[in-house]
Amino acid sequence: MDQNQQYLRKIYKDMGIEEEVFGFCAQVLYDLKDRFEQVDKVAEAGQLKVLSAMQKNRVGEQHFMTSTGYGYNDDGRDTLEKVYADVFHTEDALVRPHITCGTHALTTALSGNLRPGDELLSPVGLPYDTLQGVIGIRPQKGSLAEYGVKYRQVELLPDGTFDYPAIRAAITDKTRLVTIQRSKGYLPRPTFSVKQIGELIHFIKSIRSDLICMVDNCYGEFVETIEPSDVGADMCVGSLIKNPGGGLASSGGYIVGTKECVENAAYRLTAPGLGKELGANFGVNRSLYQGLFLAPEVTAGALKSAIFAANVYERLGFTCVPDAREDRHDIIQAVILNSAEALKAFCCGIQAAAPVDSYLTPEPWPMPGYDCDVIMAAGAFISGSSIELSADGPLKEPYCAYFQGGLTWHHGKFGIMRSVQELASRGLIKISGIHSK
């Protein structure tokens, strides 16, 4: 063993990781070299894509200035939007700290582009939990349903693929917008690759070329070399406290797409006729630029952490979704832990590994919208940021932990090791006797 490895072993030991856990994780990691090399190549492509967009738009120090009041002529804000449009290869972009979260970005995109009497179609089954209230699938004051927007949904086939005949049948002359969620979110279905999304959009446009195809891109940005906007999406929408904010954006959301779709969304975010012209940046622009600059690398770190987690936990005998070998299309990793004790231990390990609030113990609590207690682990610089190392899970069968993030790969790695240590220390797993395949 080389000197650095010996030093690492010692420092991990000082941080509470025992020899067996260290050795076991090192073995798992050894087999992941080729996999990580592929992740690095995607990050490299993403880095150059972002750099090129910044250079092309002549980003300069003047763009980091603050603006107040109406925010007229905020060149930093306008240039950032041009950079986003170039990164996603779209005509236009709306990138604002005033967009509260991903749900708000999606709501703005939907309500700006739909009118009373229009139909909204989800060809990929039930959308993300918060969107159900927005659309009115679950009754909610102010929902799109209250404004006369109808909703249709086509379920995925049992194997997680698209039900093309049913999608064709669900498109009427009233259909205006098709919403496609890329990430599985917290549902037991596969996350779609950009290629799959492209095929779906191609099919939809072959039925009616004027339909707006919107992709909920949350957790998917920079995971592949191409984005849904490269394969025909009219709008891609996401949160800045996930992948594209690179961990530095303190809040915000983005909508990239055609000029018309983005303008419609902007008229909804501010006011009809005002649109993108207004909106003071309060001095946060620099963090949005710098976060985007780091985003490909940060996303790669989160991906490596997810891949490492799947490989570690699968070898310990747990089922992981996606599994240890599958291709990745988002940064979420589900680990099925089979017992409340194991789920709690996992979350305690992740919490103990955090740079912030590491001394707290996560406890399950009843959360609105859930029919059981939920446990959450997060110790983040930006409150609620899920590009930072975090985990959560509902306290019910099959006791599944959803794990995501890690601003650096080495932090994500430590988080996983710390969680394994927690399970081992509580006697919930046995490390010895496990050998590299």
Residues making contact with ligand PLP (CB under 6 A) = 101-103, 128, 130, 181, 183, 185, 216, 218-219, 239
Select 153 or 338, whichever has its Cβ closest to ligand PLP.
153
Select 102 or 296, whichever has its Cβ closest to ligand PLP.
102
Select 238 or 279, whichever has its Cβ closest to ligand PLP.
238
Dihedral angle of Cα 311, 406, 96, 143, to the nearest 10 degrees: 50
Q: Which residues of 372-410 are buried (b: 16+ CB within 10 A; e: fewer)?
A: eebbbbbbbebeebbbbbbbbbbbeeebbbbbbbbbbbe
Nearest approach in angstroms of CB 237 to ligand PLP is 8
Angle at alpha carbon of residue 217, lines to 211 and 220, rounded to 5°? 140
CA distance 377 to 382: 14
Nearest approach in angstroms of CB 52 to ligand PLP is 28
Nearest approach in angstroms of CB 54 to ligand PLP is 25
Select 143 or 239, whichever has its Cβ closest to ligand PLP.
239
CA distance 337 to 346: 9
371: exposed, middle or buried (Cβ count in 10 Å: 0-12, 13-18, 19+): exposed
Select 53 or 99, whichever has its Cβ closest to ligand PLP.
99
Among all residues, whose Cβ is closest to ligand PLP? Answer: 102
Nearest approach in angstroms of CB 214 to ligand PLP is 12
Nearest approach in angstroms of CB 185 to ligand PLP is 4
At a CB cut-off of 8 Å and minimum separation 6, what does 141 contact?
none
Asked whether 17 and 418 are in contact (CB, 8 A), the reply is yes
Asked whether 42 and 300 are in contact (CB, 8 A), the reply is yes
Select 239 or 264, whichever has its Cβ closest to ligand PLP.
239
Strands 119-122 and 175-181: parallel
Nearest approach in angstroms of CB 182 to ligand PLP is 7
- Packed helices 33-56 and 75-87: angle between N→C axes, nearest 10 degrees: 140
